[in-house]
Structure formats: structure tokens, C-alpha cells
Amino acid sequence: MTSRRDFLQASLLLAGAGSAPRLLATPAAGGARVVSTWDFGVGANQAAWQVLDAGGTALDAVEAGARWAESDLCNPTVGRCGNPDRDGVLTLDASIMQGDGRCGAVAALRDILHPVSVARRVMERTPHVMLVGEGARQFAVEQGFEPRRLLTPAAEQAWREWRETERYAPQINAERRGRPGDKDNHDTLGLLAIDAQGRMAGACTTSGMAWKMHGRVGDSPIIGAGLYVDDEVGAATASGMGEEMMRNAAAFLVVELMRQGRSPAQACREATERVVRKRPEASRTLQVCFLAMDRTGEVGAYALHRGFVYAVCDAAQRDTLLESASVYTSEQA
């Protein structure tokens, strides 16, 4: 399996050679496209593309992409390799949504490898949208998902080292991503897809903020905060400090701005600026990132700080990785 670091280095090499990948504005007419947050989005896109390329649905595609990331043993921020909360417990958040408004989510789920698939079962097999904690785990087991201990020795070791500092000061993406030598801090996988029939879907999956309080839930499983999809308009997903996304109903905001006529890039920018206006001081230290795709397949992104990269995949480009524009452009912001 190619590691996320390899993907990132590949993109940096391209950029260094003066041939940074270019994004086609929209896929070929009637074409499918999938976009994902961060460098590991390249691998997730490839898993999703296998579904789209075979004529599958956007929903199946985003689930396949999210499952790829949840299984990835190199990713300390999503799925089985995620860092635990401050009590040493790994809890996972995920959501999935179709463009017709159907959606499902799980939060603070323990011991289950594929939270995105449990979220899909919530959508398809219950009258509800979200299950949390022990109830989500119980439902998953009833549905045939096998419970297993997920915390890796590396994540446990990292938690033990963190505990020595005994300081509860959660930060997200404080160490900027996207340059060689940057250390992974925290990222979430958000995927948005449009299939050959023009149906849209999205998924979002994460282990949440490392060393979070036990029971803390981020934006990723909250429909309208970390993910929102509407076939009439388009789709949006978020990564970064989930509390800001929740305060601003951010993914929904991005979609509504597109409904009012903004391009995906403009909508992401306005949502980011809203976060800054609400909390100007806090916004200097935390990261907030948006990725959107409208119903024609046009893609846009924006972040508070530099370093947010996103991956685009369609019939003409399989592993395009682009860096988003940002409010603050200096490392010292």
C-alpha cells in the first residue's frame, strides 16, 4: 500500500518541477468525479474510482473510499490507526449522505473497524440519522460488524507520551501539513462524489481530535457541520477544528452559498471568513478547511492556514493533488 507520505512527496515533486497538477474545471459531460481531503485522499479516491469507473453509485464510491482510509495502517487520524482520547480510548466518528437528503452517522463508536459502513446501516436500516457511543456499538454488532480492539501499539505509545505532559490543550493541524518534515497532527477524510447519473454523495470519517475529552464528538458525524450533500446544488465537507464547523453549520453553509450562486471556491472562502469573523483570535492558531463540489463537478477549496491539500480523481486525472488557498498565507500567522 502506498503511504500517505509517498503521495505527498509525489505531489511536492511535481510542484517542485514547476509542473504542479492542474485541475480540469469539470469532468467530461456526464462524467464521474471524486474529491477528497488531504494527501491520503489520493488513495481513498482510487478506491472510490474503482466503483465509479465500473458504473457504480456515488454512495458506494464514497463508502469504498472511506473504508480504504479506515483500514490504512499509516493514518493516525482516521480509523484503526487513530490516536485515542485523553483516557486512552479510541473512538471513531463518521457520516454518509446522499444527494436526496438520506443520511446516517455514528459518533464515539468503539471497537468497530468501519464506522462509515455502520453510518450507512443507520441510514438504510433504521428510522434514525445518528447513533452514538454504546448504542452505536451495539447496533453495529447486531448488524454483523465484528468488535475488535483497534488501538495500535504506536497510538498507545503516543498517548502515553502525551500523558506525561498532563496538559489538556487540544490543537488541530497546529503543525502545518504539506511540507517535508511537517509532523502529522490531525486530519479527517472527507470525500465527495458525483456518479455518471449525476447523483451525488459524501462521506466523512475520523478518529477525531487526538487526546480529546472522552465523549467529545467533532463535526465529522454531524450532518450540516462536517458534511452536507444536496443533488440540487452540490456537496461540501470539512476538516480541521470541528468545534468551529459546528458553531457555523459550516458544510451546510457552503452548500447554501453555492445555492445562492457562489462557485465552490467562493463558497468555501466565505465560510472560512465567517469562522474568522466569529473568532478572530482563535482563528490564528486553529485550522479550518473546506472542500466543495457542485452538481456540475466543479471543485473548490479554502482553508484558514496554508497546508491544506485535496485530491481529485476522474476519467482524465487519477491522482491530482492540489493545495488550497488560505486566509493566512504565512507560517507565522
Instruction: For the chain, give percent helix, strand, coil, nearest 5.
Output: 35, 20, 45
C-alpha 170/C-alpha 99 separation (Å) is: 33
Stretch that binds ligand SD4, among 14-22, 129-137, 237-245, 270-278 (CB under 6 A): 237-245
Given 110, 186, 262, 306, the residue binding ligand SD4 (CB under 6 A): 186
Here the cell at position 182 is: 511537517
| C-beta atoms surrounding 154 within 10 Å | 12
Q: Please, where are the H alpha helices in the chain?
A: 4-16, 41-53, 58-71, 115-125, 133-142, 153-165, 242-247, 250-259, 264-278
| Residue 208 found at the interface with ligand SD4 (CB under 6 A) | yes
Binding residue count for ligand SD4, defined by CB under 6 A: 15
Beta bridge partners of residue 174, listed in sequence order: none
| Residue 99 found at the interface with ligand SD4 (CB under 6 A) | no
Given 62, 97, 140, 209, the residue binding ligand SD4 (CB under 6 A): 209
| Residue 293 found at the interface with ligand SD4 (CB under 6 A) | no
Stretch that binds ligand SD4, among 3-11, 109-117, 140-148, 180-188 (CB under 6 A): 180-188
C-alpha 109/C-alpha 77 separation (Å) is: 14
C-beta of residue 216 within 8 angstroms of C-beta of residue 188:
no
| Residue 239 found at the interface with ligand SD4 (CB under 6 A) | yes
Pick the catalytic residue from 188, 206, 272, 320: 188
C-alpha 131/C-alpha 275 separation (Å) is: 28
Given 173, 248, 272, 283, the residue binding ligand SD4 (CB under 6 A): 173
| Residue 248 found at the interface with ligand SD4 (CB under 6 A) | no
Selection from 214, 261, 256, 245 nearest residue 37 by Cα: 245
Side chain identity at 160, as an amino acid letter?
Answer: R
| Residue 70 found at the interface with ligand SD4 (CB under 6 A) | no
| Residue 220 found at the interface with ligand SD4 (CB under 6 A) | yes
CB of 83 to ligand SD4, least distance (A): 11
Selection from 75, 79, 47, 74 nearest residue 63 by Cα: 47
Signed CA dihedral, 68, 118, 78, 53: sign only = positive
- Verify whether residue 188 is a known catalytic residue: yes
CB of 38 to ligand SD4, least distance (A): 8
CB of 212 to ligand SD4, least distance (A): 7
| Residue 205 found at the interface with ligand SD4 (CB under 6 A) | no
Here the cell at position 33 is: 468525479
| Residue 242 found at the interface with ligand SD4 (CB under 6 A) | yes
The residue among 113 and 204 lying less far from ligand SD4, judged by its C-beta, is 204
Beta bridge partners of residue 323, listed in sequence order: 309
| Residue 65 found at the interface with ligand SD4 (CB under 6 A) | no
Which residues are part of the catalytic machinery? 188
> Footprint of ligand SD4 on this chain (CB under 6 A)?
172-173, 186-188, 206, 208-209, 218-220, 239-242
